[in-house]
Amino acid sequence: MSNITLKVNGSTHTLDVEPGTPLLYILRNDLGLQGPRFGCGLGQCGACTVIINGSAIRSCITPVSSVKAEITTLEAIAKGGKLHLLQQAWIDEQVPQCGFCQNGQIMTAKALLDKIPNPSDVQIREAMNGVLCRCMTFYRVQAAIKRGAKAISDARQSEKTKVTA
Amino acid sequence: MTPFNGIPREVEQDLEHLNVTPSRREFLRNAGMFAVTLSAVGAAGTFVPEAKAQAADPSATAGPYPDPDFRQVDSWIVIHQDDTATFYVGKTDCGQGTGTAFRQIMSDELDFPYDKTTCIMGSTDITVDQGGSGGSTAMERDSWPMRRVAAEARRVLLDMASTKLDVPVERLSVSDGVITVPGDASKRVTYGQLIGGKRFNVAVTGKNINVIAGVAAVKPVQALKNVGQSPRRYDIPAKVDGSLKWAVDVKLPGMVHARNVKPPFAGAKLISIDESSVRDMPGFVKVVSKGNYVAVVCEREEQAINAAKRLKANWEKPATAPFPSSEDLFKYMRGATPTSVSNPIVVGNPDAAFASAAKIIEADYDIPYQGHTAFSPAHALADPSNGLMTIYSNDMKSYGMRTGVATFLGMPRDKVRVIWMEGPQGFGRTAADDAGFEAAYIAKEIGRPVRIQWMRDEESAWDTKAPAFAVKARGGLDAAGNLVAYEYHARAADHNHVGYNEPDTVLIAQLMGARRDKPASGSSEVPAEMYAIPNRRMSRDVVSLPLVWESPVRTGNLRDPNGPQSTFAAESFIDELAFAAKADPVEFRMKLLTASTTEDTGFKRARSIAVVKAAAEAYGWDPRPSPKPVASGNIVTGRGFAYAYRGQTIAAQVAEVEVNRTTGHVWVKRLVCAHDCGLIINPEALRHTVECAMLHSLSRALHEEVQFNTEKVTSVDWVSHPSLRHADCPARIDVVLLNGDPNPNRPDLAPYGGGETACKPLMAAVANAIHDATGVRLRRVPFRDARVLAALNAARA
């Protein structure tokens, strides 16, 4: 065991854990987060996705000691009690069925839109292809990403207009 | 964060404050609202591995969790002083929005605002037992007692208002939980004022929960206001913002983590365990083992995972191979002696009709084992505190788990409860059943709360499978291309089909040595269509793999059990007959549907015709025989049709495909489904369910196959057991909801099942589309690139 310091969702934590422990178990069992979830432990499904340095990362195969930058989980993408526009798009499209995979869908989509604000259908399919869903909500996930991209772009536009005015 | 007014918040309160559930139980108890229960212990002929003689004494069974009495209105509906209401139902919602639909339908009967209601479901000590989920029964069967109880509650409230306002009931008006007297504005009372926080103390009657009724009649369909609307599913916001507490999230003080160590070979026998291989590992608690069941318990989750990997054990391989390899499966099945045979269904004189047919077509179809492979491997948390047992589980049949675990552990039922919480998809008999029993067993052994979770390889290899099917079909056409003789034989590898939460067939029981004298016979299935064929014979039988018990290749119900397999063969073959008759596939089917006018009580023929027409119309189907004239170029396209019913629900589908002739890759670019399930409660939630059911079968059509060698299952993750991906998703899906009942406005229009029928026709629609595009017929599922390419190459050769 050794002391590891993690910055998660704006807070810093120091924990005495085995350095090789996958980040997922620390987030869930030590920090009480429930956005990232165990799906395969192999980095194949996306259930455990968190965002680090702007990238969607599979926390189930990421040793906790290897993480140096801040970790953002699903719980923290809403700001000031207001849902992220992508989350709102998810509700508007009524995306989830069981919902177990949706952490991976939303976090991977957020990382995509942060890099490519208006992705093409092909870019969406490519970026999302490693995130599985066994209820098969893919059709609505893709619709929600497009809706979310538009909402984010509209919001930016109206911010600009406000600043100009 | 999003306010969440559904079940899990209630459960969360229960967990964190330990006051909600007890107060609910107290509420029911003071009203005498628990039914007299019989202990499950010692049920005749049942395997009870842990039964203790003293526990079998019924006088010692005054546990705190008796069954809520389904004949009491209070067991279903509580109206609060603030004019809100809580509905308690014996169901679970696996993500199709049934909870939202229950609120809609009960609000309507109660005349109460939908927005002021919540729905609690699935926890065995505070909700009545409607069996949880299964069989698409939520609306078709289980919404009825809910409606009738809500109607009865409304009647009682009107009686109370009549007394309070001193006005005859006939002069009262009720809307949104407010009772008024038309013409007298001074008189008004709300439901909350009448009964808020108090009990109805009103009983309904009926010999079982499905038929209970009070004095009041349910409303005619035309008077339902919320039904037919699409309020958004209440469970979604918390699934999107991360605030939902799932069964995987529950943590209890003193809780430890367990992981199974499965036999490395199917049918292996445990010879010895070397506990010293893990004893010094950090956090090690115990190795729990009995028979061939082995689990390792540690303080932390990752410790248990590591210890289960590290544990050294000696296993003896079985003397004979447990099964043929999946490559040899269909040859094995066709040569096997059936373990059970069903009586054939015979119409007319098929033998004579074949003898005089102008043309005879024959085809064999093979559908492999396909798994549930739940997105989250099976899990459960069991708490053995105070001599009781509480299991936190996502199992869709929590009520059955409670009874099964009580029997398995030799505990009285009323000392065992299951708290249902959300989890990954519940499309039938998943390994969630197994995990619940395992957690409870280990918790009882070590006396601490135990959380168990299967690893990905366990889930993929050892969960219950949909049985493999080998089908033989034969058809005879007359000189004019009419189908005059039809023969269909379906063989399923389904011997020892595992039921739900059975204490003698859950995996832990099997591994501990439980054996039934007679394994469940399993089942096969014949086509479900309304085609009028003058001479037909449909038969089915079941075969067994060599290894019957403790097998990773064990079968159980998977969404629309047997439907996708049987319909793949049946509706592919109808297309083959249409091809032989040089007929358009839709026109060929329509001719068979309209060749008779006999009907059943649900107008299944009229509705089938309407659904087939609607699907063709929504797609823009232009009549022509398949296949298309051979196109040049690498990417070729085609369209395929298929139709089936399940119970009283009808679905017809069109798949449009692109086939890459160089790689064999198939992309289903468009799907259309016309769907008739009678009365629709929530059209948007239904539409979503139909979309996802189609894609579930698309995943089975394109990717899914449980593969094994002669020692073990080799499909163990998402590479070796691929599943549908974003890139496979159609660019367009159209769902047409209709009601082809000759009188769709009748006041007693019934809702039928909505969760499974759309799974049925899809695999055949895709195969038919591939044939239309390429002229090549695929008779073996799944249509992975290599298989399609091989078929294309064989046709080119």
d(CA A93, CA A108): 17
- Helix (H), strand (E) at residue B186: strand B184-190
d(CA A93, CA A139): 10
ipTM of the complex: 0.97
Structure confidence at residue B701 (pLDDT): 98
Interface of B with A in 296-325 (CB under 8 A): 300-302, 305
Chain A residues lying within 8 Å of B242, measured CB to CB: 33-35, 73-75, 103
Residue B663 confidence (pLDDT) above 70: yes
Whether A99 sits inside 8 A of B423 (CB atoms) is no
DSSP for B347-375, please give it: ES-HHHHHHH-SEEEEEEEEE--EE---S
% pLDDT > 70, chain B:
93
- Inter-axis angle of helices B785-796 and B762-774, to 10 degrees? 40
Evaluate whether B7-33+68-240 and B583-796 have a shared fold: yes
- Per the rule left: phi > 0, alpha: psi between -120 and 50, beta: everything else, B5 is alpha
In total, the C-beta contacts within 8 angstroms joining chain A to chain B are: 172
Instruction: Determine the 3-state secondary structure of B401 from DSSP.
Output: helix
d(CA A35, CA B508): 31
> Side-chain half-sphere of B175: how many Cα atoms within 13 Å?
6
For residues A72 and A8, membership in a common domain is answered with yes
Site of tokens 């040859």: B331
Chain A residues lying within 8 Å of B733, measured CB to CB: 139
Q: What is the CATH number of the domain that holds A59?
A: 3.10.20.30
What are the pLDDT tens digits along chain A (165 aa)? 789 999 999 999 999 999 999 999 999 999 999 999 999 999 999 999 999 999 999 999 999 999 999 999 999 999 999 999 999 999 999 999 999 999 999 999 999 999 999 999 999 999 999 999 999 999 999 999 999 999 999 999 998 888 776
> Side-chain half-sphere of B189: how many Cα atoms within 13 Å?
17
Residue B587 confidence (pLDDT) above 90: yes
Whether B718 sits inside 8 A of A100 (CB atoms) is no
pLDDT band at B32; cut points 50, 70, 90 = low
Confirm whether A163 is domain-assigned: no
> Nearest to residue B710, comparing CAs of B578, B553, B558?
B553
- The residue-averaged pLDDT of B589-616 equals 97
Q: Which domain holds residue A144?
A: 85-158
Q: Which of A76, A107, A139 is the last residue of a domain?
A: A76
d(CA B485, CA B487): 7
Of B95, B456, B727, the CB nearest to A96: B95
For residues B136 and B646, is the Cβ–Cβ distance under 8 A?
yes
What's the order of all strands across the beta sheet hosting B416-420? B284-290, B293-298, B256-260, B450-453, B379-383, B389-393, B416-420
Q: Which of A76, A108, A139 is the last residue of a domain?
A: A76
- The domains of chain B are located at 7-33+68-240, 248-319+378-453, 328-372+464-543, 583-796
Of B236, B248, B729, the CB nearest to A138: B729
For B454-499, what is each residue's pLDDT tens digit? 999 999 999 999 999 999 999 999 999 999 999 999 999 999 999 9
* Greater model confidence, B60 or B480: B480
- Inter-axis angle of helices B762-774 and B683-702, to 10 degrees? 60
Residue spans of alpha helices (H) in B505-661: 507-511, 563-580, 585-594, 604-619
pLDDT band at B15; cut points 50, 70, 90 = very low
For residues A62 and A127, membership in a common domain is answered with no
For residues A27 and A64, membership in a common domain is answered with yes
Helix then strand then coil, in percent of chain A rounded to 5, is: 45, 15, 40
Structure confidence at residue B28 (pLDDT): 78
Instruction: Determine the 3-state secondary structure of B290 from DSSP.
Output: strand
Indicate the burial class of A15 (C-beta count within 10 angstroms; 0-12, 13-18, 19 or more).
Answer: middle
- The residue-averaged pLDDT of B512-518 equals 96
pLDDT band at B12; cut points 50, 70, 90 = very low
Q: Give B691 to chain A, closest Cα distance, Å.
A: 8
**Domain total of chain A:** 2
Confirm whether A112 is domain-assigned: yes
For residues B640 and B584, is the Cβ–Cβ distance under 8 A?
no
Residue of B nearest to A63 (CA): B302
> Nearest to residue B793, comparing CAs of B663, B669, B629?
B663
| Domain B7-33+68-240 indexed as CATH 3.90.1150.10 | no
Q: Please indicate if any CB of chain A lies within 8 Å of the CB of B564.
A: no
Whether B423 sits inside 8 A of A100 (CB atoms) is yes
Q: What is the CATH number of the domain that holds A113?
A: 1.10.150.120
Residue of A nearest to B299 (CA): A29
Whether B726 sits inside 8 A of A125 (CB atoms) is yes
Q: Which two structure tokens, joined as six digits, stand for B346? A: 């015979």
For B213-237, what is each residue's pLDDT tens digit? 999 999 999 999 999 999 999 999 9
Residue B9 confidence (pLDDT) above 50: no
- The residue-averaged pLDDT of B351-379 equals 98
Fold classified for B328-372+464-543? Aldehyde Oxidoreductase; domain 4 (3.30.365)
For residues B83 and B71, is the Cβ–Cβ distance under 8 A?
no
Cα dihedral sign for B420, B42, B429, B553?
A: positive
pLDDT band at B295; cut points 50, 70, 90 = very high
Whether A135 sits inside 8 A of B95 (CB atoms) is yes
Instruction: Determine the 3-state secondary structure of B210 from DSSP.
Output: helix
Q: Which of A56, A76, A96 is the last residue of a domain?
A: A76
Q: Which two structure tokens, joined as six digits, stand for B535? A: 């001479």
Chain B residues lying within 8 Å of A137, measured CB to CB: 688, 692
Structure confidence at residue B425 (pLDDT): 87
| Domain B248-319+378-453 indexed as CATH 3.30.365.10 | yes
Structure confidence at residue B21 (pLDDT): 64
Q: What is the mean pLDDT of chain B?
A: 93
- The residue-averaged pLDDT of B163-172 equals 98
Q: Which two structure tokens, joined as six digits, stand for A43? A: 């980095």
Whether A94 sits inside 8 A of B685 (CB atoms) is yes
For residues A58 and A30, membership in a common domain is answered with yes
pLDDT band at B38; cut points 50, 70, 90 = very low
List B296's β-bridge partners, or say none.
B259, B287
Q: Which class would CATH give B583-796?
A: alpha beta
List B473's β-bridge partners, or say none.
B363, B488
The terminus-to-terminus CA distance of chain B in angstroms comes to 63
For residues A99 and A58, membership in a common domain is answered with no
Structure confidence at residue B456 (pLDDT): 98
Whether B300 sits inside 8 A of A134 (CB atoms) is no
Report strand pairing: B293-298 vs A55-58: unpaired
- Interface test mutation site (partner B, options A17, A138, A142, A147, max chain B beta carbons within 10 A): A138
pLDDT band at B189; cut points 50, 70, 90 = very high
